[in-house]
Amino acid sequence: MKGTYLGEFEEVVLLAVAIRSGDAYGAAVTSEIEQQMGRSVNLGAVHSALHRLEEKGLVNSQMGGATAERGGRRKRLYSVTIAGKRALEEIHQLRNQMWESIPKTAWS
């Protein structure tokens, strides 16, 4: 199904949400990705990916607490749903399976 297909960037975002689990909101997810991947990422792109993930039912969200540096605005905290977890596992498994299918001769 097209709707459940996970794009590369979406996968990264979903992983970052999982890493930051419990404190995964827009800015935090972005810095996580930036740290992990070592390149700068657009906040807008992350946000829109998060929305898409939520639409696909891979994450859900609730409004969380506010901090001073946010100007008193609340954050939206995302957490990976069971479906999200399953999707990540599936990808992981798929990759492993493919890794294992590479013949040794390929590297020589």
Partner 1 sequence: MSRKDQPPRWLDRLLERFCTPNLWEEVQGDLHERYQLRIKRTSKTKADWLYFRDIFSYLRPSIFKRRHSPKPVLTDMLRNYFLIAFRNLTRQKAFSVINILGLSVGMACSILILLWVQDELSYDRFHTHADQLYRLTINASGVDAAITPVPTAALLADKLPEIKNTVRLHSDTHILGVGDRKFEEEGIYYADSTFFDVFSFPLVKGDVRTALNRPDGIIITERMAQKYFGQEDALGKTIRKDNQDELVVIGVLADIPSTSHLQFDFILPMSFLARTNYDLKNNNWNNFDFYTYIQLEDKTNTSPTSLANLEKRIGKLIEKNIPLRVDFKLQPVLSIHLNSHLLRDVAGNGNIQYVRIFSVVAVFILIVACINFMNLATARSAKRAKEVGLRKVVGADRIQLIGQFLAESSLISFISLLVAVVLVWLLIPFFNILSDKQLTLNFLDTNLLLIIGAIAITTGLLSGSYPALFLSKFQPIKVLKGNLTIAGGGSWLRNGLVVCQFVVSIIMLVGTTVVYNQLQFIKQRNLGFDKENLLYVQMTGELWSKQQAFKNELKQNPLTQNFAISLDLPTNLATGVVDVFWEGKNPQSQPLFPTMAVDAGFIDIFKMKILSGRSFYPDSKADSASYIVNEKALQIMGMNISNAVGKSLTFGGIKGTIIGVVQDFNFKPIQQSIEPMLMHLNTWGGKVIIRTQPNKTEATIQALESIHKKLNPAYPFTYHFIDQDLANLYKTENRMGDLFNAFAVLAIFISCLGLYGLSAFIAEQRTKEIGVRRVLGASVGNIVYLLSQNFTRLLLLAMVIATPLAWYAANNWLEGFAYRINVDWTIFLISCFTALGIAAITVSYESIKAALKNPVKALRNE
**Is 20 near partner 1 (CB under 8 A)?**
no
Q: How far is CA 99 from the centre of its chain?
A: 22
**Is 75 near partner 1 (CB under 8 A)?**
yes
Tell me how far apart the alpha carbons of residues 63 and 93 are, in angstroms, rounded to a whole number: 33
**Is 26 near partner 1 (CB under 8 A)?**
yes
Location of structure tokens 């069971």? 82
Query: Strands 59-66 and 74-80, how do they pair?
Result: antiparallel
The Cα-based distances of 50 to 14, 47, 78, 101, 108 in angstroms read: 8, 5, 8, 32, 41
**Is 79 near partner 1 (CB under 8 A)?**
no
**Is 69 near partner 1 (CB under 8 A)?**
yes
Stretch that binds partner 1, among 8-16, 73-81, 89-97, 98-106 (CB under 8 A): 73-81
Location of structure tokens 């299918």? 101
Stretch that binds partner 1, among 7-15, 37-45, 85-93, 98-106 (CB under 8 A): 37-45
Residues contributing to the site for partner 1 (CB under 8 A): 25-27, 30-31, 42-45, 47-48, 51-52, 63, 66-71, 73-76
